[in-house]
């Protein structure tokens, strides 16, 4: 209000209208009981003016001192100004004054709006918050109307109304979203028993479930459903039919379990899709859709992971390994407020006590000298051992994959030989991490740092295994490509000879087309790759579940029931109940997702399998945790663990993008299976679509844009 007064003083040119409004301001302040000296000037002014001003004054005196009153005064003032006859100079001055006031009002309204939107973050009592909120809302409502006067009033009012509707819509949408989140109570139960770190795994699992559900929707809706509804049915084309030779065994369970037989020739795999440019009455461009969906799977995943990382990065701050506040943090952040269970609370009290005692001891012994050389030597030794393990496991996988190729050429292979690769990989994943942990005991790190090393090593193990597997698979693919040329010739000649022979018998009757089951087939390498990934995923799922069942549940049953008749206390000593291995489980989840990303281009049904897996995992693991695990004794997580796992996920996303991109860009698609058959490269489908479907000028534009001379500067600009 002071500002207002000063500014109106500055503008005053001795104009009567201005003086009247100034007087109004003064009067208002008087009523507020603030400034007495204005009263003197007010009286002076009153002496000089005409009776109409007195009318105004008395009216104003009658008004209340609330902000509502101020607004009412403004309205009245403007009405009066409009009604009194005035020279043009008067009206221009009154416009500028009201503009000043308008600007001020606008600012205040904006301030109040900001206050309303951040009300919930204010550290006040609820009662105070509610009353300040009401006041601010009333102020905004009253003045929004006034601000709209003059120029652009209708537009302003419309904008305000839309803004209000938008706020309401956002609120309803938030309400709806929180209702949709599943498993909230389940996670809360786990949290109250095990604390926030174990629950963070389940929250991560739930997030992955959401992402996979979206991917599944994309693939299912845009690729599988159109193919099933509008594409050629089973049996009409060679690629969609089980070959004659295999038909006898196509329904056997063992064959189906290996994803051969009828499953191989279904919409779940790449090879089923026809390369017709458009299908059905909708002229749906299936090959184009297949390609774009494949790309958008990666694009969407990338976007979602980065968005999640950005959100996490806002919350987490400095280094958790900061040594400056050890005791303070122990004191103020060690109690987990989520605990709602007496047993867990007891555990927590014990662990906090131990932690304090350890820190006290560390503090007192911090001056002790350590033998640095011995420590360094031991650490180097440990790392050497672990690298040997990693190389050994890589070689083992390569060897096994090579052997499986020779097996596939043999007849009469046993169940073990068929599944050897998957079994070996899963076993390695199960036994190597504990091995790493025992070797790491040599290193004698602080537990938090030791945990990071452990995670890094397990990551390297899984990565090495996966890439070795891929390399071996690539050998397989190249072999198949060579085979293809041969088969192409055979098919061509077979068809030719069939037509000749049937035409030779009776030239008037058109020869019946060769039954699709009899046409010689190429070795569709894409489907093979898809099948390999699906089998790997399924075996991974099975091994995980069996590990949980045996490692946690059977163990818990054993410890509980056999304890009565055993020499030493099973519960306290070895083996005791299992603790929930957070990092192992999270890494498993991350790698599983990597395999899905790699395989989903060649086996569209893979994402569906993964969605089912995540769903059952949630229930199964929740049950297993509650029934067979005990809370951790020492509780610490890798600092900023949320972003750490997201970072891993991002890395895996890129690493799984590479093989797919490589195969798309450089390998020719099979000649007789899949939506890209017949093309030289898979991405030719884009060019084809642009040429044929879009109007001419679009094709021209694309050909100009695709000029390297344009693209390179654009990329450099972005960098």
Partner 1 sequence: MGNKQTIFTQEQLDAYQDCTFFTRKEILRLFYRYRDLAPQLVPLDYTNKPAVTLPYELIGSMPELKDNPFRQRIAEVFSEHGDGNMTLDDFLDMFSVLSEMAPRDLKAYYAFKIYDFNNDDYICKSDLEKTVNKLTRNELTPEEVSLVCEKVIYEADVDNDGKLSLTDFQHMIVRAPDFLSTFHIRI
The residues binding partner 1 (CB under 8 A) are 116, 119-121, 123, 125-127, 129-130, 133-134, 171-172, 174-176, 178-179, 187-188, 191-192, 196-197, 200, 315-318, 320, 322, 324-329, 331-342, 344-345, 349, 352-353, 356-357, 360, 363, 637, 639-640
Q: Look at residue 662 and give its three-state secondary structure.
A: helix
Residue among 632, 698, 679 nearest 201 (CA): 632
Q: Which is nearer to partner 1, 99 or 343 (CB)?
A: 343
Q: Which is nearer to partner 1, 187 or 556 (CB)?
A: 187
Q: Which is nearer to partner 1, 340 or 713 (CB)?
A: 340
Structure tokens at 229: 């509804």
Place of tokens 């009206």: 91
Per the CB < 8 A criterion, the answer to whether 164 and 92 are in contact is no
Pinpoint the alpha helices (H) of 225-285.
225-230, 253-257
Question: Burial of 510 by CB count in 10 Å (0-12 exposed, 13-18 middle, 19+ buried)?
Answer: exposed
Q: Which is nearer to partner 1, 329 or 623 (CB)?
A: 329
Least Å distance, CB 359 to partner 1, is: 8
Q: Which is nearer to partner 1, 188 or 700 (CB)?
A: 188
- Mind spelling out the 3-state secondary structure of 162-199? HHHHHHHHHHHHHHHHHHHCCCHHHHHHHHHHHCHHHH
Q: Which is nearer to partner 1, 354 or 627 (CB)?
A: 354
Per the CB < 8 A criterion, the answer to whether 662 and 654 are in contact is no
Place of tokens 């099975």: 542
What are the φ and ψ backbone dihedral angles of 333, each rounded to 5 degrees?
Answer: -125, 10
Least Å distance, CB 322 to partner 1, is: 6
Q: Which is nearer to partner 1, 6 or 172 (CB)?
A: 172
Per the CB < 8 A criterion, the answer to whether 387 and 366 are in contact is no
Least Å distance, CB 207 to partner 1, is: 14
Q: Which is nearer to partner 1, 359 or 703 (CB)?
A: 359
Residue among 237, 236, 226 nearest 677 (CA): 237
Question: Burial of 302 by CB count in 10 Å (0-12 exposed, 13-18 middle, 19+ buried)?
Answer: middle
Least Å distance, CB 331 to partner 1, is: 6
Least Å distance, CB 420 to partner 1, is: 43
Residue among 291, 309, 301 nearest 607 (CA): 301
What are the φ and ψ backbone dihedral angles of 450, each rounded to 5 degrees?
Answer: -60, -40
Least Å distance, CB 119 to partner 1, is: 5
Q: Is the dihedral of CA 394, 400, 402, 404 positive or negative?
A: negative
Place of tokens 């109570």: 185
Hey, how many other C-beta atoms are within 10 angstroms of the C-beta on 254?
A: 11
Q: Which is nearer to partner 1, 201 or 469 (CB)?
A: 201
2, 101, 411, 549 from 25: Cα distances, Å: 10, 12, 102, 80
DSSP class per residue in 530-545: HHHHHHHHHHHHHHHH
Least Å distance, CB 581 to partner 1, is: 19
Least Å distance, CB 643 to partner 1, is: 11
DSSP class per residue in 124-145: S-HHHHHHHHHHHHHHHHHHHH
What are the φ and ψ backbone dihedral angles of 467, each rounded to 5 degrees?
Answer: -70, -35
User: Distance (Å, rounded) from C-alpha 711 to C-alpha 587?
Assistant: 38
Least Å distance, CB 105 to partner 1, is: 22
Residue among 74, 135, 80, 67 nearest 101 (CA): 74
Q: Which is nearer to partner 1, 129 or 149 (CB)?
A: 129
Q: Which is nearer to partner 1, 192 or 405 (CB)?
A: 192
Least Å distance, CB 171 to partner 1, is: 6
Q: Which is nearer to partner 1, 333 or 367 (CB)?
A: 333
151, 376, 382, 659, 674 from 370: Cα distances, Å: 80, 11, 19, 48, 65
Least Å distance, CB 304 to partner 1, is: 20
Least Å distance, CB 448 to partner 1, is: 10
What are the φ and ψ backbone dihedral angles of 630, each rounded to 5 degrees?
Answer: -115, 155
Q: Which is nearer to partner 1, 364 or 411 (CB)?
A: 364
Q: Which is nearer to partner 1, 483 or 633 (CB)?
A: 633
Least Å distance, CB 308 to partner 1, is: 15
Place of tokens 């844009």: 705
Residue among 294, 221, 269, 217 nearest 656 (CA): 294
DSSP tag of 606:
H
Least Å distance, CB 206 to partner 1, is: 14
189, 198, 248, 433, 616 from 556: Cα distances, Å: 20, 18, 46, 21, 21
User: Distance (Å, rounded) from C-alpha 35 to C-alpha 27?
Assistant: 9
User: Distance (Å, rounded) from C-alpha 188 to C-alpha 340?
Assistant: 9
Q: Which is nearer to partner 1, 361 or 546 (CB)?
A: 361
Least Å distance, CB 232 to partner 1, is: 47
Q: Which is nearer to partner 1, 212 or 642 (CB)?
A: 642
Q: At what angle do helices 184-194 and 342-364 cross, to 10 degrees?
A: 50
Q: Which is nearer to partner 1, 6 or 174 (CB)?
A: 174
User: Distance (Å, rounded) from C-alpha 514 to C-alpha 502?
Assistant: 10
Least Å distance, CB 320 to partner 1, is: 4
């Amino acid at each position: 209000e002071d500002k207002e007064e000063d500014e109106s003083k500055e503008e005053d040119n001795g104009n009567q209208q201005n003086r009247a409004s100034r007087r109004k301001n003064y009067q208002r302040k008087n009523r507020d009981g603030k400034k007495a000296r204005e009263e003197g000037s007010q009286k002076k002014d009153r002496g000089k003016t005409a009776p109409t001003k007195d009318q105004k004054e008395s009216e104003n005196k009658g008004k209340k001192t609330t902000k509502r009153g101020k607004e009412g005064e403004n309205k009245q003032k403007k009405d009066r100004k409009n009604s009194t006859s005035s020279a043009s100079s008067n009206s221009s001055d009154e416009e500028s004054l009201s503009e000043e006031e308008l600007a001020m009002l606008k600012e205040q309204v904006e301030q109040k709006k900001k206050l309303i939107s951040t009300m919930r973050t204010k550290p006040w009592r609820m009662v105070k918050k509610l009353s300040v909120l009401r006041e601010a809302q009333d102020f905004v409502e009253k003045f929004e109307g006034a601000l709209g006067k003059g120029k652009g009033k209708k537009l302003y009012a419309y904008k305000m109304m839309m803004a209000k509707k938008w706020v309401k819509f956002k609120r309803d949408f938030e309400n709806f979203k929180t209702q949709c989140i599943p498993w909230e109570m389940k996670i809360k139960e786990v949290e109250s028993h095990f604390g926030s770190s174990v629950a963070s795994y389940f929250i991560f699992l739930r997030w992955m479930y959401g992402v996979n559900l979206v991917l599944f929707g994309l693939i299912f809706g845009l690729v599988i459903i159109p193919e099933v509804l509008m594409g050629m049915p089973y049996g009409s084309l060679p690629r969609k039919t089980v070959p004659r030779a295999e038909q006898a065994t196509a329904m056997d369970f063992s064959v189906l379990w290996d994803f051969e037989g009828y499953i191989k020739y279904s919409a779940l795999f790449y090879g089923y899709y026809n390369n017709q440019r458009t299908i059905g009455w909708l002229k749906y461009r299936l090959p184009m859709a297949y390609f774009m969906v494949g790309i958008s799977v990666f694009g969407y995943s990338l976007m979602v992971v980065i968005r999640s990382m950005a959100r996490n990065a806002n919350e987490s701050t400095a280094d958790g390994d900061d040594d400056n506040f050890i005791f303070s943090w122990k004191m103020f952040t060690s109690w987990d407020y989520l605990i709602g269970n007496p047993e867990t609370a007891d555990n927590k009290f014990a662990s906090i006590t131990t932690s304090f005692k350890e820190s006290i001891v560390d503090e007192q012994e911090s001056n002790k000298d350590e033998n640095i050389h011995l420590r360094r030597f031991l650490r180097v030794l440990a790392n050497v051992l672990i690298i040997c393990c990693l190389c050994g496991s890589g070689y083992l996988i390569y060897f096994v994959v090579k052997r499986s190729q020779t097996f596939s050429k043999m007849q009469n292979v046993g169940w073990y030989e068929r599944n050897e690769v998957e079994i070996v990989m899963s076993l390695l994943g199960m036994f190597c991490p504990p091995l790493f942990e025992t070797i790491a005991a040599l290193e004698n790190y602080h537990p938090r740092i030791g945990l990071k090393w452990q995670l890094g090593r397990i990551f390297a193990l899984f990565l090495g295994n996966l890439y070795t597997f891929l390399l071996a698979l690539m050998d397989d693919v190249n072999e198949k490509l060579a085979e293809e040329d041969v088969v192409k010739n055979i098919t061509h000649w077979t068809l030719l000879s069939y037509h000749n022979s049937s035409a030779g018998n009776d030239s008037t009757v058109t020869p019946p087309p060769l039954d699709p089951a009899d046409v010689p087939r190429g070795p569709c390498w894409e489907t093979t790759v898809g099948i390999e990934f699906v089998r790997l995923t399924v075996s991974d799922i099975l091994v995980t579940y069996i590990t949980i069942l045996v490692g946690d549940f059977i163990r818990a049953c054993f410890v509980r029931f056999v304890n009565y008749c055993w020499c030493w206390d099973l519960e306290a000593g070895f083996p005791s109940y299992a603790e929930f291995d957070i990092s192992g489980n999270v890494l498993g989840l991350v790698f599983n997702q990597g395999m899905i990303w790699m395989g989903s281009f060649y086996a569209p049904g893979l994402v569906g399998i993964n969605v089912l897996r995540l769903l059952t995992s949630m229930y199964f693991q929740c049950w297993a945790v509650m029934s067979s695990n005990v809370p951790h004794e020492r509780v610490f997580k890798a600092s900023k663990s949320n972003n750490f796992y997201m970072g891993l996920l991002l890395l895996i996303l890129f690493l799984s993008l590479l093989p797919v991109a490589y195969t798309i860009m450089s390998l020719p698609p099979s000649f007789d299976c899949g939506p890209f058959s017949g093309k030289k490269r898979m991405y030719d489908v884009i060019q084809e679509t642009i040429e044929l479907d879009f109007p001419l000028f679009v094709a021209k534009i694309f050909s100009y844009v695709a000029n390297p001379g344009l693209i390179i500067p654009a990329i450099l600009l972005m960098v």
